[in-house]
């Protein structure tokens, strides 16, 4: 099969069943994967997913994988992924009124503007507790955890809880620099945990920038413990369940 990318034609053959199920890595991603991280579609990344005993979140999240619509909408794109993946009652889509679906364009339709509004979020993003309060607008249970309040062991257990059931999913708020990436504060869903490598799979919603990657729990732990300049508190993890 031939695929065209900005770098020309690439010939792809002999896909395994797993490869056909994996989320495609954008051929136009601008930034290389740091050596400390493992890309999902690399041989090692695929092996981790196959070997993982904690990957129930991956399947629904991969079906509803989003690309954030602007540079500050990572929290919105991540939330839309999780809400659709959880299968809770969906709102009518303003652009397609015959269908129901959570979208980035309609995300704030029923959110109290005092909590967040699209114009401000498009410039500043959302803090941990701000997103937690916004998510309470929807028919889900929201469980925020500040990184500064967690030990490495308790953080690891939270990650496992967030990926071992399709009925409970995890959103990570972290500093990209502390996982060797370019950028600052960011949100993305966590889709799996691999015990032998002690790593977690991040489904990066800035898909034009980085593909899904495995990051060590230790590095991700430090990244969620970093201080958010807006809230002056640490970043962290939100568990969302139906």
CATH number for the domain that contains residue 65: 3.90.70.30
| Residue among 7, 11, 51, 74 flagged as catalytic | 74
| Residue among 145, 194, 204, 228 flagged as catalytic | 204
Q: Would you call 67 helix, strand, or coil by DSSP?
A: coil
Q: Could you give the CA distance from residue 139 to residue 239 in angstroms, rounded to a whole number?
A: 14
**Whether 198 is catalytic:** no
The verdict on residue 18 lying in a domain is no
The verdict on residue 14 lying in a domain is no
Q: Which pLDDT tens digit goes with each residue over 81-133?
A: 999 999 999 999 999 999 999 999 999 999 999 999 999 999 999 999 999 99
Which residues, 6 or more positions from 33, have their beta carbon under 8 angstroms from its beta carbon? 39, 210, 211, 213
The verdict on residue 3 lying in a domain is no
The verdict on residue 7 lying in a domain is no
In this prediction, residue 29 has a pLDDT band, given cuts at 50, 70 and 90, of low
Q: Which pLDDT tens digit goes with each residue over 197-219?
A: 999 999 999 999 999 999 999 99
Q: Where are the beta strands (DSSP E) in 100-198?
A: 141-146, 168-175, 185-194
pTM for the full predicted model: 0.88
Q: Could you give the CA distance from residue 111 to residue 97 in angstroms, rounded to a whole number?
A: 19
Q: Could you give the CA distance from residue 194 to residue 51 in angstroms, rounded to a whole number?
A: 7
The verdict on residue 11 lying in a domain is no
The verdict on residue 46 lying in a domain is yes
| Residue among 145, 186, 194, 228 flagged as catalytic | 186
Number of domains in the chain: 1
**Boundaries of domain holding 190:** 23-241
DSSP category for residue 174: E
**Exposed/middle/buried for residue 191 (C-beta within 10 Å: 0-12, 13-18, 19+):** buried
**Whether 74 is catalytic:** yes
The verdict on residue 53 lying in a domain is yes
The verdict on residue 13 lying in a domain is no
């Amino acid at each position: 099969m031939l695929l065209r990318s900005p770098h020309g034609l690439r010939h792809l053959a002999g896909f395994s069943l797993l490869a056909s199920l994996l989320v495609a890595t954008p051929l136009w991603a601008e930034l290389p994967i740091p050596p400390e991280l493992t890309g999902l579609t690399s041989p090692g990344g695929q092996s981790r997913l196959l070997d993982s005993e904690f990957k129930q979140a991956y399947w629904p999240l991969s079906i509803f994988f989003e690309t954030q619509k602007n540079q500050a909408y990572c929290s919105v794109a991540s939330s839309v992924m999780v809400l659709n993946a959880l299968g809770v009652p969906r709102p009518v889509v303003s652009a397609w009124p015959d269908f129901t679906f959570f979208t980035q364009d309609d995300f704030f339709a029923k959110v109290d503007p005092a909590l967040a509004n699209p114009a401000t979020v498009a410039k500043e993003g959302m803090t941990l507790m701000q997103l937690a309060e916004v998510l309470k607008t929807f028919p889900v249970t929201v469980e925020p955890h500040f990184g500064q309040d967690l030990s490495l062991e308790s953080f690891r257990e939270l990650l496992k809880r967030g990926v071992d059931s399709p009925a409970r999913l995890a959103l990570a708020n972290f500093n990209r620099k502390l996982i060797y990436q370019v950028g600052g504060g960011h949100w993305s869903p966590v889709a799996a945990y691999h015990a032998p490598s002690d790593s977690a799979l991040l489904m990066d919603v800035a898909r034009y920038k980085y593909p899904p990657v495995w990051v060590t729990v230790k590095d991700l732990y430090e990244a969620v413990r970093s201080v958010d300049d807006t809230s002056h508190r640490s970043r962290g993890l939100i568990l969302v369940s139906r």
